[in-house]
Structure 1
Amino acid sequence: MATTGGPLAERARASGVPVIGIPQGLEPRCAVAYVTVAALAAAHSAGLVPDLADELAAAARTTTALAAQWGSDSPQDTGPKRLAGDLAGRVPVFHGIGLTAAPARRFKTQWNENAKLPAFWSELPEQNHNEICAWVGEAQMAGLAPVLLASELLAPPSRVRLQATAEALERAGFTPLLVEGAGATRAEQILSLVLHGDLASVYAAVLAGRDPRPVAAITALKERLAAADSESS
């Protein structure tokens, strides 16, 4: 069981259930690495996945180095800051395929929560079966910015599909932005992309003059739903 503590952890320990501790006080969006490691550890204990400890350790080293490289004092034309600048005033549509699909969705949700800006995501190959028609057709797509998430670990057919999609977008008059994962393992590639998107969304918030921390709209909605539950009970 993965938990930040409290009665649930106490009951689990009393029942002999292994407990993986997660630091308290973190916003859910800030605990993604802790939760990912905990989930993989639990899956390994259940015999569902191999031991990924070495791969996760490598990912920790890679993302720590990238965090230092991409920090607040990094140049404006580097990594996440450059992406935030390129997307200023535009609505990004993050595209992923295979191992980059989940990071693409993460890019979108972080853009929404941290920068308080609209953003969308799409997954290939499904995008090629429907959405591509809107991009290359006569729909009013101005203001949208396609962002393609890539990885050197993608299977060759997936890389070809990603490249073909970029070429189709270019022919339609768009300039797709490319974000590449880093590292030699899947964990490094995925978590480096997550870090890239998280930092870019914070820099986008700064450029938009917004505080990335509060999520007033979510809080208000939760309060409204809680009130409705109380009224119906």
Structure 2
Amino acid sequence: MALKTLGAKAAAALDKELMSTGAFSIDQLMELAGLSVSQVVYRVHPIHKGHRVLVACGPGNNGGDGLVAARHLRQYGYQPTVYYPRRSKNDLYQRLAKQLEDLDVPFVEDFPEALKSTDHIVDALFGFSFSGEVREPFPAVIKALEETNLPVTSVDAPSSWNIEDGPPKTGLGSSFHPEYLISLTAPKPLVKYFKGRHFVGGRFVAPSIAKKYDFDIPEYQGIDQIVEVSPADEKL
């Protein structure tokens, strides 16, 4: 079964629908998304491989998912560090940051420096709504992600990639290929350019909404919030 993808406009419309007819709050969706991200890290990088995780958070919802993931990782026993240079003044994001501070999760200012003392990276900078240029202070972060030998898990989209067209053809981000990707709710068209291990998370979508947006809900097992997608399912 080839997995159907959801373009940027459809993904935005689906988010709105989940929060209107679906009756979810943004807090709930972010919590479930971040929980899914944390489960991917636990799956691909168990604690015995190294407990230090650097979570890079952008200013939007993708960054919020990263903040939630960092909290869950801390509760699992990892030692997350958070890079969050453009903090949102939105109440939800401030509460998520406060929850991390209460758990003594450090926030760092220098991403390339923080890379020197971590074992795994979560890229939660930009999601499906990203377009245009990478603005400061993020170009140095994308460059560091391109150059690192550490494993990277990207949330919904490898940051700097175009949702439809994948990595930039040249320049910044063109050689950024994370090892792991978690698609939230449904895969985006860029997955056809992704060569690593791919997971889907989003165990909250009602069948009626999935039918309306013409995508399939994967078969989640047990208490898992994630499903690994085999390369055979990627024939999009």
Is the TM-score greater than 0.5?
A: no
Q: Which has the higher helix share?
A: 1
Rg larger in structure: 1
Normalised by the length of structure 1, the TM-score is 0.37
Normalised by the length of structure 2, the TM-score is 0.37
